């Protein structure tokens, strides 16, 4: 019966007999585990030769002998010669050293599993009885998809002292399927989730019932949990040894105060990492069929915080039509943004699009020329969250679909060919 056993090879000597591509694959895996690798072969393939030249492995140019097993913890034999591999396995058996035979798993005393990783969790699959690597790979593929997508509960049950950490996860514009795999896996490891109002909050219903969810979401003009308190919660929970996920809409470093939270954690000596997300500055226009850059139209874009108004670069961009301007958090100040652009000398006919709830089933697009966009938005009742796009790319019909493109296969996603509101 075959038993799976996790072996720590970091800093330990491993012998690889053979210098071909199979041996090279084994060597790369061993180096990734931190092993000290010794290769014995009359010649090396290009990949192994590069590693030897760089000093990543020690190479002895000769046929393998029993003396090469001196001081090793594990042997991988991949010479391509069945008789030699069997002889190496015999030496290993006599010396009570585990041996993996690449040519015939039944010859060695150990087997290399098909492996996948999810953070610090390693999942391996091997065949019991007669070796069947193909079956192991297929089983692993199914298991890996489940684990990597966050479907498995990856929370720690044993907590070493000081093992707490904070993970800032960019959740994207709101649709759960625009959350990255790494972000979803981080949620599968979370003991506590500190969440905003925006972002893929529906994913929280998929978490185990005993995962604590702390809502610190803000609405326009209403910030019930100040940033200092959010920082305190992140640090305090991590110091208890918990894994804390700070789930944010968009990307943590695009108007998400992620930098402040990282600094607070580092100042407190708390481990912190950042998982990038799809910013609504990119996702909402794309979902509405608005390219921020388009060959022959514009080759750059500029993102601003709507509450801060148009900076100098944005004013120049709208005046001279040199770049698309994207304003986040600007619904309440849309009249001021439009007035500032017009005062700068922008063409009153400059196209503007406002995308509400981008990349969700509630998406709606309102379009009008710059001089009329504020009134049009007021008339139809535009509400946050919304992204404002100013520039030629916002013109209706820029990406008119052909007849074959007018029916999208996924009825749950908005159709950019059918915006919710269009100014005449």
Strand partners, 367: 353, 422
346/325 Cα distance (integer angstroms): 12
Give residues with Cβ within 8 angstroms of 172, minimum separation 6.
178, 179, 180, 199, 200, 249, 250, 277, 278, 280, 283, 359
344/315 Cα distance (integer angstroms): 6
Closest CA to 89 of 149, 150, 80, 104: 104
Q: Can you give the C-alpha Rg of the chain in angstroms?
A: 29
Q: Specify whether 196 is catalytic.
A: yes
Which one of the listed residues 218, 336, 347, 415 is annotated catalytic? 218
Which one of the listed residues 85, 191, 196, 251 is annotated catalytic? 196
Contact 359, 174 (CB under 8 A): yes
Report helix angle 258-267 to 227-239, nearest 10: 40
What one-character DSSP code corresponds to residue 294?
A: B
Outline where 246-333 has alpha helix (H). 258-267, 280-287, 312-320
List the strands of the sheet with 212-215, edge to edge. 212-215, 192-195, 243-248, 165-170, 271-275
151/280 Cα distance (integer angstroms): 25
Length of the chain in terms of residues written = 424
> In the structure encoding, which two tokens stand for residue 240, read together?
């208890």
Strand partners, 390: 325, 352
Catalytic residue list = 196, 218
């Amino acid at each position: 019966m075959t038993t799976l056993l996790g072996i720590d090879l970091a800093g330990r000597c491993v012998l690889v007999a053979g210098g071909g591509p199979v041996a090279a694959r084994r060597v790369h895996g061993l180096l990734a585990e931190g092993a000290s690798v010794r290769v014995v072969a009359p010649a090396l393939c290009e990949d192994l030769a590069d590693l030897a030249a760089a000093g990543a492995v020690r190479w002895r140019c000769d046929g393998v002998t029993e003396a090469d097993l001196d001081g090793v913890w594990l042997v991988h034999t991949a010479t391509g010669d069945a008789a030699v591999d069997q002889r190496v396995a015999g030496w290993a058996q006599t010396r009570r050293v585990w041996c993996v035979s690449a040519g015939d798993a039944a010859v060695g005393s150990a087997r290399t599993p098909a492996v996948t990783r999810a953070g610090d969790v390693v999942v391996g699959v091997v065949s019991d009885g007669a070796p069947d690597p193909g079956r192991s790979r297929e089983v692993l593929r199914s298991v890996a998809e489940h684990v990597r997508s966050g479907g498995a509960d990856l929370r720690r049950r044993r907590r070493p002292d000081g093992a707490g950490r904070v993970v800032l996860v960019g959740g994207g514009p709101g649709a759960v399927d625009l959350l990255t795999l790494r972000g979803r896996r981080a949620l599968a490891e979370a003991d506590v989730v500190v969440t905003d109002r925006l972002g893929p909050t529906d994913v929280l219903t998929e978490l185990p019932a005993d995962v604590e969810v702390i809502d610190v979401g803000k609405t326009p003009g209403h910030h019930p949990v100040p940033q200092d308190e959010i920082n305190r919660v992140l640090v305090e929970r991590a110091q208890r040894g918990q894994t804390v996920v700070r789930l944010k809409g968009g990307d943590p470093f695009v108007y998400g105060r992620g930098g402040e939270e990282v600094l607070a954690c580092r100042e407190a000596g708390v481990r912190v990492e950042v998982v990038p997300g799809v910013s609504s500055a990119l996702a909402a226009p794309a979902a509405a069929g608005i390219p921020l850059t388009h060959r022959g139209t514009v080759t750059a874009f500029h993102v601003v915080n709507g509450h801060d108004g148009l900076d100098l670069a944005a004013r120049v961009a709208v005046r001279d039509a040199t770049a698309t301007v994207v304003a986040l958090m600007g619904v309440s100040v849309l009249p001021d943004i439009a007035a500032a652009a017009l005062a700068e000398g922008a063409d009153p006919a400059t196209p503007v699009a406002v995308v509400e709830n981008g990349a969700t089933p509630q998406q709606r697009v309102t379009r009008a020329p710059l001089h009329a966009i504020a009134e049009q938005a007021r008339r139809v009742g535009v509400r946050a969250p919304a992204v404002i796009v100013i520039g030629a790319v916002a013109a209706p019909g820029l990406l008119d679909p052909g007849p074959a493109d007018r029916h999208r296969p996924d009825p749950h996603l908005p159709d950019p060919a059918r915006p919710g509101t269009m100014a005449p």
